[in-house]
Chains A and B, each alone.
Chain A
Amino acid sequence: MSDPAWLSYSLQDFLMFGPEVFLRLFARINQDLWPWQLLVVPLSLIVPWMAGRPEIVWRRLALVIVAAAWILSGGGFLVNYFGEINWPAVWIGWAFTVQGGLLAALAVTRGCPRLSIGRTGWFAAFWLAAVVLLPWLTVVQSGEPTTLALFGLSPGVTVAASVLLVGGFGRATFWLLLPVPITWVLFSTATYWALQTQWLLLLPLATLASLVAGVWLSPRPVQSPGPQSAHHGPVRR
């Protein structure tokens, strides 16, 4: 690897598949998993409601859904579909399943982090925008409705939506949960850039925006009690 010849490689030189083949992966997973989408879509839509409930059981369930989405999109899309044409995707797929395992453990031990009171509506809006609008980017890119990239089946939408929750965890957990989404953002940006699938570049961008939004949505410890905090004081983490 110290060979200076490596300097002459461009991003395109590492790309081992074409855009048509990549976009068909979404059509294939949709076809192969049908009719499980009828369960996956409603589950993805009720996450904000569950996450906003005060009862811990609902917040556990919300996180279980998110954990399952990571495991499914990692072990399914990345390992079994994308991995066939791009071997690094297999490693990332396994990292997704580990992340899913971590989230499942957090679901059992803590449940979904509580949202900042007054911002649950924002959370729902961001979440629904991610799981309802982002899946269409692959459709716009390919011109094929069958390539809809659903939350839980496709990694891009799964990561973009679920990082909204990452900011709500305590600092140590936050840092623990960050590397896989960031790796995915870098990997997918490089892939979409090399494939020249411009619409798909909005996915990693949305993920970064979602990460920032997640931090904003999370309750912060109060330093100085003010008039607002009397009514809308943050919930302790």
Chain B
Amino acid sequence: MAKHLTRRQLLVGAGLSGLALHAPGLFAMHGNTQLPAPIRRAVPSTGERLPAIGMGTWITFNVGSDPYLIEQRTKVLKTFFDHGGSVVDCSPMYGSSADVLGRSLDALGARDQLFAATKIWTGDESATREQAESSRRKWGVERFDLLQVHNLLGWQGHLETLKAMKAAGEVRYLGITTSHGRRHGEFARIMETQPLDFVQLTYNVLDREAEARLLPLAQERGIAVIVNRPFQGGSLFRRFQSEPLPAWAGEAGVSTWAEFFLKFIVAHPAVTCAIPATSSVEHMQENMAAMYGELPDEQQRQRMVAYVRSL
């Protein structure tokens, strides 16, 4: 990815003009003369800096071969890239999402901006390479940046193959995933004993179980953290969107509920990026705004937790 930064910066510039219309406060803060710098986080194992907001594809990109919806999702992906996004996460479990992503990437010709992350999701521990290859063809990428063992399914066998693939340069990073707070004990043991580059887990203002063990462990072991379900599958909006933001939100760099939820996550020092999913261009714009401006400090993060609890 690194060699294409210049082109991406150009595209970010183009996209940010849209963002400026959408979130003028952001640009007032930084002035119009200079592009605001997106929040990036380093992958501990290499130092590569990734944009702190990525994109998930569960449900949202599973639209089959519907040309109208593929075109619509392509616009969502374009908005993501235009606003400086890079990390896209998928899985063979997500129905047609990988095919749709491939078609959207074809339409945008945007693979050079992409940090391609998918998963291995099969109980057959000898099928790692085969599944990675099938996903690679769907995405139309030369190789994946990151391959993760989905929900620890057959992790022993898959991790061994992924290590060999990484050594052979067939994939850049490897990792494991969980969600909904499941199997954290086993997850932690794997983090302690295996040479992982990434872990993916659920963490948000309401589901903070990862704070107890997994996030400190990731920092200690130098493992990058991708946060899934940042909006608790959308339920955070359903629950809180009708409520006002706290009066002090602006001080924490927050002007929308999307920013509230996402900035809470990416401000955690162990977090590398959050991967919200959306099927809407407007929501994508809102979510990407969280990658710019101030982040809440630890005290403000505690106030955020207390505030949503009080609602």
Using CB atoms and an 8 Å cutoff, list the residues of chain A in contact with chain B: 3, 5, 8-9, 12-13, 15-18, 20-21, 24-25, 28, 81, 84-87
Contacts and interface: CB of A to CB of B under 8 A. Distances in A.
Contact of B69 (A5, A9, A15, A24): A24
Main secondary structure of the interface of B (DSSP, over half): loop
Q: Is the interface of A mostly helix, strand, loop or mixed?
A: helix
A5 B202 CA distance: 15
Given A18-B59, A20-B279, A21-B62, 6 more contacts: A3-B183, A5-B182, A21-B64, A84-B65, A85-B95, A87-B95
A85 B182 contact: no
B248 interface: no
A24 B67 CA distance: 11
A84 B60 contact: no
B22 to A, nearest CB: 23
Contact of A16 (B62, B65, B68, B181): B62
Given A21-B63, A85-B63, A16 B58 contact: yes
A3 B151 CA distance: 12
Contacts of B60: 18
A26 B206 CA distance: 37
A21 B94 contact: no
B207 to A, nearest CB: 12
Contacts of B62: 16-17, 21, 85
A159 to B, nearest CB: 22
B66 interface: yes
B180 A8 contact: yes
A207 B41 CA distance: 54
Contacts of A12: 233
Contacts of B183: 3, 5
Nearest to A17: B62
Contacts of B9: none
Interface in B48-71: 58-60, 62-66, 68-69
A84 B180 contact: no
B66 A24 contact: yes
Contacts of A5: 182-183
B182 A84 contact: no
A89 to B, nearest CB: 10
Contacts of B68: 24
Contacts of A18: 59-60, 279
Given A21-B66, A24-B69, A28-B66, A84 B279 contact: no
A76 B193 CA distance: 49
Contacts of B181: 8
Interface in B62-108: 62-66, 68-69, 93-96
